[in-house]
Amino acid sequence: MKVVIIILVLIVIGFAVAIGMGVARGSQAPSASGAPPTRDGKIDEDALADWEPPPMAALLGKVAGPFAPKLLKSAVEVSGQAGSGLEGGRPGTLAVEPSKKDMRIARVNLVSGQAVKATYECIGGDGRTCPQTVCLCAAGSTPSEDDVDDCPEAWRKAHRSGDGEHLACDKDDAAVAMVVYPEGGVIKIEPIASDAATVSIR
């Protein structure tokens, strides 16, 4: 019981630090961590009206990641292929087996390709985010707004470059953590802004 309490306290502290770091950046747009928009180190009240907090699953993935069990003992690579013309895309899939663990964390890293959408199709329930969709992009890549229509709005807002047409990605955008529930499900990988994309999942 004491271990659980300590972990919960660390999670709360980590969340507070993440928000503080986002505010300290002094950017006018929401940070990639999901913190509110800021100006000169303070929360921008004008921009706050259009800001949406990230889904609870995304927050849990970031904050609880170091403490929750990994989804897989060893990393596996999953690739998706984009469609062309009338041919539909072929998403890569990873079946997630059920588990007795209350929560697992899938650590997803972009291996190749400009950007990718990862979707965890799970069994819904009270307090659960199903399906979960996250997007990853390689450092220096600039996918167009049209390419990322299916990505979460909060993620798109955090990555807008200012020209109204493209997004800007840095080194922290090539990795993400997803919450995986005991019932399992499937993780689908679909490339964005390139013909193919590969991620490693652990």
What would the pLDDT profile of 160-194 be if each residue is shown by its tens digit? 877 778 888 988 899 998 889 899 999 999 998 77
Report d(CA 193, CA 190) in Å as an integer: 10
Contact 114, 194 (CB under 8 A): yes
pTM of the predicted protein model = 0.67
Report d(CA 17, CA 103) in Å as an integer: 23
Side-chain half-sphere exposure of 6, counting CA atoms within 13 A: 4
pLDDT of residue 86: 54
Beta bridge partners of 28: none
- The CATH class of the 68-201 domain is mainly beta
Domain spans in the chain, listed from the N-terminal domain onward:
1-51, 68-201
DSSP class of 85: T
pLDDT digits (tens, 9 = 90+) for 2-48: 444 445 545 544 544 444 444 333 333 444 444 555 656 555 555 54
User: What are 180's two structure tokens?
Assistant: 């995986």
Contact 107, 153 (CB under 8 A): no
pLDDT of residue 179: 87
Contact 80, 73 (CB under 8 A): no
Contact 28, 22 (CB under 8 A): no
